[in-house]
């Protein structure tokens, strides 16, 4: 039996001398170089006893070595568990305890803080730093490439990506080989990627956007990738004349617009700008088109489904919409709380069905049953409608999810920590509009009687327990929180009240 994802994406050009990754320091890796690196890594995995179905957790800086871990996992049938590099040891401990990986690859600076937890669940620990060095690379450098490729069927598990819920307990979305491959094929065709393309890649690779959209499409099409560690405006501006495509979050485009070097001449070689992971403001759409002549293509996806819909490559790209369902993907709008499909123009729950939809939540059968219907439709938790042109508009979120700079932030997690601090009676965390990040985190805190907590002290108290992107940018002390007749905090009222909050 073949290996479904490896054969289609990684093996396709494994012997090719064509450049795959252009690195920020001017060096590069060919497809053949990348294939050999991942085969050496796979040999180390095999030596450590990693077998088909075992999880490999990765919390390391964005490097070619870190990216190759993905290919190595697919080669031997292991399940990749990519973790946000901003997660604290406390946060990582939960993922390790829940997923029970066979191996953790982390930054050397984090090894001491999480090694004990890793070892308690039977995971070995190797290190990989921002320069691609560490105990993992030391072992890989002397390893012979693993020639064997493990048989994997389309339905076999390829990755687990954790996404949080408003209850505060993170959920591991299980993605199969075919979930990833089917989506990459649809996007490659729809966005017309070919070997002639060069993609600017400044996204993180622990997120579905940077890993399973940008990388998979590039591998499948044979496109080259300018692989930057992060968004660096100077590197991006310099790369534009020598590239053809860019995938980013709205923040990328607002920051590009702030730079006078972004001109029509600078993007003359570019053919496509894609935006996702957070809503793109109509004003950004219009300003970017006026400055460059390019209309950004906005699409819609999520951890559990990869990409669901996209504005067209050829055709009208409508600001404020995420386009139409991808080929092979069905999207319907239903009355929340029921399965009654709503007519065009009415707002309801966005449900998705297709080969891209995940297999369920890791070790959470009850949660899976709540959100994944028996007929295969997934309840996204997003509210939306189809307009008169058949374009999908996302008009809100049923859950209180905050998206800042493309990262998902769940209020409950922050509220639980705030409520446990001295002087705090209760709190409510909301997202408010931010011109650069899309949304920012604001915390409303009701003090205990007689207490006068300092907002800056409260923010500082969260620093060691939450990733930086989750920290409130502002804490407001309030007398009380608005509630409905059932006692539930009315966050919609808070969002309206603090919509013009300044930072």
Q: Which of 276, 295, 314 is the last residue of a domain?
A: 295
Helix (H) or strand (E) holding 125: strand 124-127
Helix (H) or strand (E) holding 69: helix 64-76
Helix (H) or strand (E) holding 64: helix 64-76
Q: 185 lies in a domain?
A: no
Closest by Cα among 439, 224, 189, 219 to 313: 189
In a shared domain, residues 142 and 250: no
pLDDT digits (tens, 9 = 90+) for 123-151: 999 999 999 999 999 999 999 999 999 99
- Say what the pLDDT of residue 475 is: 95
**Mean pLDDT confidence for 394-398:** 71
DSSP H helical ranges for 356-395 = 365-371
- Torsion angle of the four alpha carbons 386, 315, 212, 130, in this order, in degrees rounded to the nearest 10: -120
- Say what the pLDDT of residue 167 is: 43
CATH number of the domain at 87, please: 3.40.50.12780
Residue 380: is its pLDDT beyond 70?
yes
Helix (H) or strand (E) holding 104: strand 103-106
pLDDT digits (tens, 9 = 90+) for 456-483: 999 999 988 999 999 999 999 999 999 7
Contact (CB, 8 A) for 322 and 345: no
In a shared domain, residues 47 and 131: yes
Residue 80: is its pLDDT beyond 50?
yes
User: How many whole angstroms separate alpha carbon 406 and alpha carbon 435?
Assistant: 13
Residue 8: is its pLDDT beyond 90?
yes
Q: 341 lies in a domain?
A: no
**Mean pLDDT confidence for 377-393:** 93
Average pLDDT, the chain: 93
Q: Which of 269, 295, 321 is the last residue of a domain?
A: 295
**Mean pLDDT confidence for 105-116:** 94
How far CA 389 is from CA of 141, 202, 310, 340, 345, in Å, comes to 55, 33, 14, 22, 10
**Mean pLDDT confidence for 154-171:** 80
Q: 365 lies in a domain?
A: no
Closest by Cα among 105, 103, 33, 38 to 68: 38
Q: Confidence class of residue 166 from pLDDT cuts 50, 70 and 90?
A: very low
CATH number of the domain at 447, please: 3.30.300.30
**Mean pLDDT confidence for 106-128:** 94
In a shared domain, residues 8 and 116: yes
Residue 426: is its pLDDT beyond 90?
no
In a shared domain, residues 251 and 144: no
In a shared domain, residues 89 and 220: no
Phi/psi at 14 (5° precision): -65, -20
Best-predicted range by mean pLDDT among 86-95, 326-335, 379-388?
326-335
Q: What share of the chain is helix, strand, coil (3-state, %, to 5)?
A: 30, 25, 40
- Say what the pLDDT of residue 210 is: 95
**Mean pLDDT confidence for 215-243:** 97
- Say what the pLDDT of residue 347 is: 85
First to last CA, the chain: 57
Contact (CB, 8 A) for 179 and 355: yes
In a shared domain, residues 144 and 216: no
pLDDT digits (tens, 9 = 90+) for 33-69: 999 999 999 999 999 999 999 999 999 999 999 999 9
Residue 164: is its pLDDT beyond 80?
no
**Mean pLDDT confidence for 94-112:** 96
Q: 443 lies in a domain?
A: yes
In a shared domain, residues 141 and 34: yes
Within 10 A of 144 (CB to CB), how many other CB atoms are there?
8
- Say what the pLDDT of residue 490 is: 84
**Mean pLDDT confidence for 472-499:** 83
Q: 353 lies in a domain?
A: no
Q: 359 lies in a domain?
A: no
pLDDT digits (tens, 9 = 90+) for 281-311: 787 899 999 999 999 999 999 999 999 999 9
- Say what the pLDDT of residue 233 is: 97
In a shared domain, residues 51 and 137: yes
- By DSSP bridging, strand 124-127 and strand 103-106 are parallel
In a shared domain, residues 130 and 53: yes
Per-residue burial over 395-404, b = 16 or more CB atoms within 10 Å of its CB, e = otherwise: eebebbbbbb
In a shared domain, residues 146 and 204: no
Number of separate helices (H) and strands (E) present in the chain = 16, 25
- Say what the pLDDT of residue 204 is: 94
Q: 454 lies in a domain?
A: yes
Q: 70 lies in a domain?
A: yes
User: How many whole angstroms separate alpha carbon 253 and alpha carbon 346?
Assistant: 31
Q: How many domains does the chain have?
A: 3
In a shared domain, residues 287 and 426: no
From its phi and psi, is residue 409 left (phi > 0), alpha (psi between -120 and 50) or beta? beta
Contact (CB, 8 A) for 163 and 408: yes
Residue 411: is its pLDDT beyond 90?
no
CATH number of the domain at 250, please: 3.40.50.980
- Say what the pLDDT of residue 396 is: 62
Domain span at residue 478 reads: 402-497
Contact (CB, 8 A) for 432 and 501: yes
Q: Confidence class of residue 501 from pLDDT cuts 50, 70 and 90?
A: confident
In a shared domain, residues 65 and 126: yes
- Say what the pLDDT of residue 486 is: 41
Q: Which residues pair with 427 in a beta bridge?
A: 445
DSSP 483: B
Q: Which of 295, 327, 348 is the last residue of a domain?
A: 295
């Amino acid at each position: 039996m073949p290996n479904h994802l490896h054969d289609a994406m990684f093996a396709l050009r494994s012997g090719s001398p064509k450049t795959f990754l252009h690195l920020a320091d001017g060096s590069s890796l060919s497809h053949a170089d990348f294939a050999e690196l991942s085969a050496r890594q796979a040999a180390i995995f095999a030596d450590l006893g990693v077998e088909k179905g075992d999880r490999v957790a990765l919390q390391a800086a964005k490097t070619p070595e870190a990216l190759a871990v993905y290919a190595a996992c697919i080669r031997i049938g292991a399940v990749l568990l990519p973790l946000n590099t901003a997660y604290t040891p406390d946060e990582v401990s939960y993922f390790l305890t829940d997923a029970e990986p066979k191996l953790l690859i982390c930054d050397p600076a984090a090894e001491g803080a999480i090694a004990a937890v890793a070892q308690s669940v039977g995971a070995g620990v190797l290190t990989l730093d921002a320069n691609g060095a560490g105990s993992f690379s030391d072992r890989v450098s002397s390893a012979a490439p693993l020639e064997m490729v493990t048989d994997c069927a389309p339905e076999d598990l390829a990755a687990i990506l954790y996404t949080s819920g408003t209850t505060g307990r993170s959920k591991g979305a299980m993605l199969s080989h075919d979930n990833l491959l089917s989506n990459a094929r649809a996007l490659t065709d729809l966005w017309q990627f070919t070997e002639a393309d060069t993609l600017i890649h400044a996204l993180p690779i622990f997120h579905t956007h940077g890993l399973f959209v940008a990388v998979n499409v590039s591998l499948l099409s044979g496109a080259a990738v300018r692989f930057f560690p992060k968004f660096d405006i100077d590197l991006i501006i310099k790369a534009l004349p020598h590239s053809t495509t860019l995938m980013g979050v709205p923040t990328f485009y607002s920051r590009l617009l702030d730079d006078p070097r972004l001109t029509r001449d600078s993007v003359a070689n570019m053919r496509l700008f894609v935006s996702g992971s957070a809503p793109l403001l109509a004003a950004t759409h219009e300003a970017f088109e006026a400055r460059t002549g390019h209309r950004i293509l906005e699409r819609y996806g999520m951890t559990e489904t990869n990409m669901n819909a996209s504005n067209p490559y050829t055709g009208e790209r409508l600001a404020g919409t995420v386009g139409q369902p991808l080929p092979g993907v069905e999207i319907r709008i239903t009355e929340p709380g029921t399965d009654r499909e709503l007519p065009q123009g009415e707002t309801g729950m966005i449900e998705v069905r297709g080969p891209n939809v995940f297999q369920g939540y890791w070790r959470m059968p009850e949660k899976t049953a709540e959100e994944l219907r028996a007929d295969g439709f997934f309840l996204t938790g997003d509210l939306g409608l189809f307009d008169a042109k058949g374009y999908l508009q996302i008009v809100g979120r049923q859950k209180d999810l905050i998206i800042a700079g493309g990262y998902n932030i769940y209020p409950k997690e922050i509220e639980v920590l705030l409520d446990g601090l001295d002087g705090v009676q209760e709190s409510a965390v909301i997202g408010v509009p931010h011109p650069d990040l899309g949304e920012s985190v604001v915390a409303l805190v009701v003090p205990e009687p007689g207490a006068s907590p300092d907002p800056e002290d409260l923010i500082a108290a969260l620093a060691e327990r939450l990733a930086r992107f989750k920290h409130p940018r502002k804490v407001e002390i309030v007398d009380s929180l608005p509630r409905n007749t059932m006692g539930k905090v009315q966050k919609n009222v808070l969002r309206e009240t603090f919509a013009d909050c300044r930072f």
